[in-house]
Amino acid sequence: MAIRTLGTWVSVAVALVSVLAAQDADAGVSLQPASHDLGEVAVGAVTEFSFGVHWPDDAAVRTEPEVRLPEGLHLLRVKSFREKDGKSTSVVAVALRVDHAGNLAARCEVRLGTRTATFPVQAKVVARPKGGTRVLVLESPFGWQSGDPEDFVAWRRLVAAAALDVDQRVRMRGRATVEVAALQRVDIVWIAEGSLLDLDAGERALLQGFVCGGGRLVVVASAFFDGTPAAASLLCEPFGLCIQDKEPAVGMAAVATGDGIARHPLTVGVESIRLLRPSPVASAEAGKATELVRFDGDVQQVFAAMATTGGGGEVVAVGACLWWNDLGRCPGFERLVRNLMSRAPRLR
């Protein structure tokens, strides 16, 4: 998997400065990101996150680090790899699941020989919102490749304002991306980035069945994240939608205003959208899909469209990259995402 121009979006330096100040500088150990603030988490929801520990040598690939977690946090996996400069990085994936409300402020310890890295994580665990939409996010935005914890201010704000009950899963090779039990719990599935790349035929069938059973599936992909348009199109093809593997222009910002934003329940409150490097969404059959957002001017390409099934299911294709990062830069996009993640419970 390759991510083009990742440096444009992810500033590793931000994550390193604060943690080096908190650790022994001679140890040469740093974290990526510096911490995670998970925001509001509903009681019983599964919130997964990951963080990276950068070691000054390749010891982590020779000896597995020891991870110590407080109550409420569960280790999913620790995997280490050697960097090109001879140093090493350990990626630690963790799940938070608690059965009572309250504020969580915890520290994850990763030990390697005499070195210790301490990763802070916090969350506000709230009672499951009455009538709140149940959402499964594949994959969690709280990943180790994020640079600045402030990137997620908009996502935390959205979850709280919309009273969402969200399960957030990290992508791990060798583990099923889609599980039947997880689908049964939710009304909406949001899938993007690397989780799209790991889908196999059986998992695609499960998601398609979720739609046919009345669920809403939101598929987010772009040419910026290599391979995701093709993976998204495989998933959306039975519903007549695809995401094209191209961009309007390298680095170009596309803008949608006025008539470019359809009058539709999913676009209520969306006045304008400005995104960098989006990919167009296409419909296999004219009139089969509902256009939600079309960019202005010379671009004249659909950015978001929806297809429906006779059973009340919905598939929404969105041609965006690093969606969680775009939330804070574009209020219109944040409102669109909030609309897409809000829905009456599906019939079961």
What's the confidence (pLDDT) of residue 151? 80
Query: Encoding tokens for residue 4?
Result: 């083009």
Fold for the domain defined by 12-127: Immunoglobulin-like (2.60.40)
CATH dotted code for 176-348: 3.40.50.880
**Of the candidates 84, 63, 67, which has an alpha carbon nearest to the alpha carbon of residue 76?**
67
CB neighbour list of residue 207: distance below 8 Å, 6 or more residues apart: 178, 183, 189, 191, 199, 217, 235
What's the confidence (pLDDT) of residue 286? 59
**Of the candidates 337, 244, 311, which has an alpha carbon nearest to the alpha carbon of residue 283?**
244
Give the integer Cα–Cα distance in Å for 230 and 243: 7
Opening angle at CA 317, ends 216 and 153, nearest 5: 80
Give the integer Cα–Cα distance in Å for 192 and 177: 11
Q: How far is CA 260 from CA 112, 294, 330, 336, in A?
A: 54, 5, 16, 14
Give the integer Cα–Cα distance in Å for 204 and 236: 9
Reading the chain (348 residues) residue by residue, the pLDDT tens digits are 344 333 333 333 333 334 433 444 336 899 999 999 999 999 999 999 999 999 999 999 999 999 999 999 999 999 999 999 999 999 999 999 988 999 999 999 999 999 999 999 999 999 998 878 999 999 888 989 876 777 889 999 999 999 999 999 998 888 888 999 999 999 999 999 889 999 999 999 999 999 999 999 999 999 988 999 999 999 999 999 999 998 876 567 889 999 999 999 999 999 999 988 899 998 876 557 899 999 887 555 899 999 999 889 999 999 998 898 889 889 999 999 999 999 987 765
Instruction: Characterize the bridge pairing of strands 314-318 and 216-220.
Output: parallel
Give the integer Cα–Cα distance in Å for 184 and 4: 35
Residue 144 dihedral angles phi and psi, to the nearest 5°: -70, -20
For the chain, the domains span 12-127, 176-348
| Global pTM value | 0.88
What's the confidence (pLDDT) of residue 3? 40
Contact 134, 186 (CB under 8 A): yes
For residue 65, give the DSSP letter: P
